[in-house]
Amino acid sequence: MKAKTITNPEIQVSTTMTTTTTTATLPNFKSSINLHHVKLGYHYLISNALFLVFIPLLGLASAHLSSFSAHDLSLLFDLLRRNLLPVVVCSFLFVLLATLHFLTRPRNVYLVDFACYKPHPNLITSHEMFMDRTSRAGSFSKENIEFQRKILERAGMGRETYVPKSVTKVPPEPSIAAARAEAEEVMYGAIDEVLEKTGVKPKQIGILVVNCSLFNPTPSLSSMIVNHYKLRGNILSYNLGGMGCSAGLISIDLAKDLLQVYRNTYVLVVSTENMTLNWYWGNDRSMLITNCLFRMGGAAIILSNRWRDRRRSKYQLLHTVRTHKGADDKSYRCVLQQEDENNKVGVALSKDLMAVAGEALKANITTLGPLVLPMSEQLLFFATLVARKVFKMTNVKPYIPDFKLAAKHFCIHAGGKAVLDELETNLELTPWHLEPSRMTLYRFGNTSSSSLWYELAYAEAKGRIRKGDRTWMIGFGSGFKCNSVVWRALRSVNPAREKNPWMDEIENFPVHVPKIAPIAS
């Protein structure tokens, strides 16, 4: 499957978070409504084709069986008695195959619960405070101070995001000790909450997966957690570094694979990023953008493969798909940590980033599409592909699947406003679908790999998650990588019973985020 890139020149839609304006001629509008109903009917017919065929056949079989006389039944039993050996052999093979299937089938992975860390209010950094500290740092030219101000205004971020004290102090005090303190505050805050929510004891955790891209001390972050919570000595511990903002979904994929091997255990996944030692103090504009976007945050997730945990779990993991474009030089270098001409270390964002992200997304959903799209969409896509490739019917337009049929909720990495705007257009999603991502960027900024969990928490706080709903998480990261994870809700989530970082202010969202044209670099 490929991402949607086709727009309708006859229908122009201008959308914001609060108003929607549609301009179209009346005939075209009626035509689109009729086609819409035809497509809905087609989708319903294909989705229920097995049911529609099976019911008449079952009725015929029932009518036929009801006409059996006692004599017919006695003949049937006599036939089975005369062929006892084949019946026994077939029954044995059936039981054997059923047993092998049960023992070798993939184990279900359940998301028991998760928690997102909400920093203390004294870490709130308004735009005014950000610009004040930037001006007083003495590291930036006047032109680049103004450049950061413009980026901040256009980033789609609100005025209550969080930055660690080590960065906002005058003068700043970046150090290993301060970075460790930031990591401990975020990780322990999220872990304490998820352990409280799930009732899981530290000694019950058999696997620990931690991801933080830019801060990798010795001992590792995973060792810090093992030491703090006194986890058991035979725990399987993994520390993922340098994998960018998509590492959170890589951690989920790793946990899924481990849960296929180790029985009846819990996995603790911790996703975070560290800002203290990774604030850029130079004047390369490609590196200054990260200062304006990245903010403090983290998440902790408890996964299980124990069947008895299904009743109390929120979600079941359905699919994980990972796409790595690192073999391509342009993709590899589009997000690169390096030194500038004055030996100041920062993360440079290439102008090719949007194009690279688009190509990675297309490759990813090409693999994921057949797994999540209904058969009706796959048949239409296949039919147009055969028409164009086999029969050379160039007048047939390629069919772009409706990805809204694959999932009800979308959690797209809140990497920046431009990325979200582009994906809304390419996947033909609505502002409602992008609301969790946009509001997470507005309220918490880009918290790297943990941003997807703030978005899912937003959907829960809004009362949107219903039993059976599918949620598609899409993460992008350096390398360049695009990863997807699909969950199915095992129960409806009641916001009144939830504890997450949105609950005390969810009535204030969504807010209007104006669309402002980007500035030249």
* Alpha-carbon gap, residue 452 to 458, rounded angstroms: 10
At 91 the pLDDT is 81
Q: Quick one: tokens of 467?
A: 């039993």
Q: What's the pLDDT tens digit per position in 466-513?
A: 999 999 999 999 999 999 999 999 999 999 999 999 999 999 999 998
When comparing pLDDT for 264 and 54, which is higher? Answer: 264
Question: Which entry of 446, 482, 483, 500 is annotated as an active-site residue?
Answer: 446
Q: What's the pLDDT tens digit per position in 191-246?
A: 999 999 999 999 999 999 999 999 999 999 999 999 999 999 999 999 999 999 99
At 72 the pLDDT is 67
Q: What's the pLDDT tens digit per position in 259-316?
A: 999 999 999 999 999 999 999 999 999 999 999 999 999 999 999 999 999 999 999 9
Q: Residue 345: left (phi > 0), alpha (psi -120 to 50), or beta?
A: beta
* Range of lowest pLDDT (18-27, 84-93, 328-337, 433-442): 18-27
Whether 90 is a known active-site residue: answer no
Whether 43 is a known active-site residue: answer no
Q: What's the pLDDT tens digit per position in 377-425?
A: 888 877 887 887 777 787 877 777 888 989 999 999 999 898 899 889 8
Residue 445's SS3 state is coil
**Cβ atoms of residues 10 and 25 within 8 Å:** yes
What is the pLDDT of the chain when averaged over all its residues? 86
Question: Which entry of 116, 212, 413, 500 is annotated as an active-site residue?
Answer: 413
For residue 117, what are the contacts with CB-CB under 8 A and spacing of at least 6? 185, 186, 187, 189, 190, 193, 272, 297, 298, 299, 300, 450, 501
Whether 245 is a known active-site residue: answer yes
Q: How many Cβ atoms sit within 10 Å of the Cβ of residue 254?
A: 19
When comparing pLDDT for 126 and 55, which is higher? Answer: 126
**Cα angle: 242, vertex 144, 288; to 5 degrees:** 10
Question: Which entry of 116, 212, 245, 411 is annotated as an active-site residue?
Answer: 245
Whether 234 is a known active-site residue: answer no
* Alpha-carbon gap, residue 242 to 396, rounded angstroms: 44
At 85 the pLDDT is 81
Q: For residue 425, what are the CA distances in angstroms to 5, 18, 87, 97, 305?
A: 7, 18, 60, 48, 37
Average pLDDT over residues 90-103: 78
Q: Name all domains of the chain by residue range, CATH numbers in brackets.
A: 110-508 (3.40.47.10)
**Cα angle: 228, vertex 234, 239; to 5 degrees:** 60
* Range of lowest pLDDT (91-100, 117-126, 448-457): 91-100
Residue 6, pLDDT above cutoff 80: no
Question: Which entry of 212, 274, 305, 324 is annotated as an active-site residue?
Answer: 324
Residue 90: which pLDDT band, with cuts at 50, 70 and 90?
Answer: confident
Q: What's the pLDDT tens digit per position in 153-165?
A: 999 999 999 999 9
Residue 60, pLDDT above cutoff 90: no
Whether 48 is a known active-site residue: answer no
Nearest to 403 by CA among 471, 315, 318: 471
